[in-house]
Chains A and B, each alone.
Chain A
């Protein structure tokens, strides 16, 4: 089954404790991205990757890092989490970035709470 898998689904952590949220897709997609979703703000892009070893900042990259060493994996790293990073995070992947048929598939989400 084609899917995007995020782990963990829920995470409570303390300020300053490094954490990683994993994302894996089994569709051989080139394009992967991370979003955060906050009430009243919709989804905002954090980082994206056009392909292996190619990453770039989205709209709200501060406080986050990513890596794309393999095509299927795109982990999101919070080196020193702060309470304002408490949010619902989604990973998404698509075959490419352009065209009406480049459907974006979303993971199930990771609810992160930083206390």
Chain B
């Protein structure tokens, strides 16, 4: 069964600290993996998209990594800001075009 599992479910960090969110997937065949940021009450917004041949991709303070062999991805946030408080969703697109969503990690950045 195609699944996307994220951990931790929730996370609280202090402003300025770094954090890493994890995503494991069993989707096969695999087209690409995306990380989305979803602010409370709003739609998801794309942070990064990676194909199976890409190991890392950065978008400002966000860096995503992908290990297609172990089917694992991570999202690293550097020097967190209060505005980083949101849910982060890992989404895997299969070769058929279907998007499979993880449950998300809720991040809270405290001053």
Give the A-B contact count at a CB cut-off of 8 A: 50
A109/B103 in contact, CB under 8 A: no
B31/A45 in contact, CB under 8 A: no
Q: Per a CB cutoff under 8 Å, which of B32, B41, B51, B98 touches A109?
A: B41
- Segment touching A, from B12-20, B42-50, B67-75, B76-84: B42-50
A100/B103 in contact, CB under 8 A: no
CA distance A42 to B90 in the complex (A): 10
Q: Per a CB cutoff under 8 Å, which of A41, A90, A96 touches B43?
A: A90
Residue of B nearest to A108 (CB): B43
A42/B42 in contact, CB under 8 A: no
B43/A42 in contact, CB under 8 A: no
Chain A interface residue count, Cβ-Cβ cutoff 8 angstroms: 24
A106/B43 in contact, CB under 8 A: yes
B3 to chain A, nearest CB (A): 10
Q: How large is the interface on B (under 10, 10 to 19, 20 to 34, 35 or more residues)?
A: 20 to 34
**Given the known A-B contacts A98-B97, A100-B32, are A42 and B46 also in contact in the complex, defined by CB atoms under 8 Å?**
no
Q: Quick check: is A107 within 8 A (CB to CB) of the other chain? A: yes
**Given the known A-B contacts A42-B102, A98-B97, are A106 and B31 also in contact in the complex, defined by CB atoms under 8 Å?**
no
B97 / chain A contacts, CB cutoff of 8 Å: 31, 96-98
B50/A100 in contact, CB under 8 A: yes
CA distance A42 to B105 in the complex (A): 10
**Given the known A-B contacts A40-B103, A42-B101, are A103 and B49 also in contact in the complex, defined by CB atoms under 8 Å?**
yes
B27 to chain A, nearest CB (A): 14
A110 to chain B, nearest CB (A): 10
Q: Using CB atoms and an 8 Å cutoff, list the residues of chain A in contact with chain B.
A: 4, 31, 35, 40-45, 90, 92, 96-101, 103-104, 106-109, 111
- 16 A-B pairs within 8 Å (CB atoms) are namely A35-B101, A42-B89, A42-B102, A43-B44, A44-B101, A92-B43, A96-B97, A97-B97, A98-B31, A98-B97, A99-B32, A100-B50, A103-B49, A104-B34, A104-B99, A106-B44
